[in-house]
Amino acid sequence: MGKKIMLQGTASNVGKSTIVTGLCRIFKQDGFTVVPFKSQNMALNSFITKEGLEMGRAQVSQAEASGLEPIADMNPILLKPSGNNKSQVIVRGKVVGNMSSVEYHDYKLQLMDVLKETFDELNSKYDITVMEGAGSCAEINLKARDISNMGMADIADSPVIIVGDIDRGGVFASLAGTMLLLNEEERKRVKGVIINKFRGRKELLEDGIKMLEEIINVPVLGVLPYNDIKIEDEDSVTTRFKKVIGVKDVHIEIIRTPHMSNFTDFHIFETQEDVSVRYVDYGEYLGNPDVVIIPGSKSTIDDLKFIRENGLEDQIKSLHKKGKLIVGICGGYQMLGKKLKDPYHVEGEVEEYDGIGLLDTETIFEEEKTTTQVKAIICEGLSGYLECLSGKEIRGYEIHMGVTNIGNNIRNLDAITEKLGEEVNYTEGSVNNEGNVFGTYIHGIFDEIEFTRALLNNIRQSKGLESIESKVGSFKEFKENEYDKLADFLREHLDIDKIYEIMND
């Protein structure tokens, strides 16, 4: 069996996912085979593997940093909140049903064997398994059936490092308090702690670090300064939505709906020097963007109601009349149509709901979920912002519960050429005749830089600006560079030798 190490946290969003990603990269650079593992993930950001299985996005980044193709067993349990205290439960990449928190708490007992099997399979194939916990590891009310933190560390018999976030304040208390709430056996597993997101002079922490080490009886393995390395966030707890970004040549505004999913679709825009992005949150209004994007959604009709009731629908229609580009991804694509029908009550009791009506489409929600990876090419003869984009290759993945039919006054966006590795030939997506509204089910469509840069340049030309080239050769290349930067950053600020020592004990 391989070595293992587990990163747990004092709370959510302390930086566990990023540190695990960086450690995976370091171990790979040092010549080891390494695999990430997170027993349970609660996230609306998900990914579809080559086998058509669903998993959390954080483990996708960690797999990439490890030089691996993502597989669902790296995240054997995925919970996707669907409102009303319920979540869709996905086990080893497949949906097993929707459960309330009480139902899932009982169901956890059936998952212990699944976790042991998946962990043992991975750990036997790789030199090192880097594990990630979820939320706080000291939730004493949930300990009896914990499968995310110390419960999983026990199944794997793994040493643990705890991460605390100093940026939110109280890091010494949170680390010491976490250790206090662990039982004796759990404390024995903890071999060190990491202080993350520090802004300031490290010398000012030295006395506090010494006192903390005396209190918790384990070493501080490093203090990580705040950084701007662009690694994908795990879920909507990200601070990305709060960033204030100055308006640039091409300004994009993304509506942050209550059940927004897969906002990783838009990370590519941060690599383009002429693009600014703003997430429009609850109680906020659209400004004067060049592009409005309605993202994917776990609850399409509820999110459409949110858009309508908060006055955003009228603003979208007004911007459309001004010739701005309106884009819908997955659930957002469904919203842009004329009708949404739910005969099987997949989303709720409402069987029919009016869409925004900017695309001549009708969506029918079905009981079976579509989960697939695809490759496609943009269709011929499109106009407006999509002019001269025909033949551009796009690729990504689909996760949706509906089928969208198009009317007469509309064109398809793309032709699917490959599905789950097999050649196919069918059309997908929709574009209005003017070429200023389009929708697609393909998550990750913007990751293909040739397509995205051509689209952005069409927007630039419409504003009288010259076209420019991307300084990033591909999004994959950009991410690889960021993983290397992250590894260098962790080597500088963490005691990596000590971490190796911990794994070898």
- Phi/psi-derived region of residue 67, left when phi > 0, alpha when psi is between -120 and 50, beta in every other case: left
* Buried/exposed code over 143-177 (b: 16+ C-beta within 10 A; e: otherwise): beebbbbbbbbebbebbbbbbbbbeeeebbebbbe
Residue 330 annotated as catalytic:
yes
**Beta carbons of 500 and 226 less than 8 angstroms apart:** no
Helix (H) / strand (E) element for 136: namely strand 128-136
- Cα distances (angstroms) measured from residue 396 to each of 12, 45, 92, 390: 28, 14, 20, 18
Active-site annotation holder among 267, 330, 379, 400: 330
**Beta carbons of 430 and 361 less than 8 angstroms apart:** yes
Active-site annotation holder among 267, 400, 443, 493: 443
Give the whole-angstrom CA distance, residue 2 versus residue 125: 7
Residue 443 annotated as catalytic:
yes
- Cα distances (angstroms) measured from residue 129 to each of 2, 136, 494: 7, 21, 19
**Beta carbons of 282 and 245 less than 8 angstroms apart:** no
As given in the structure block, the two tokens for residue 420 are 């789950």
Q: Among positive and negative, which fits the CA dihedral 114, 118, 119, 121? A: positive
Q: Which residues are catalytic?
A: 330, 443
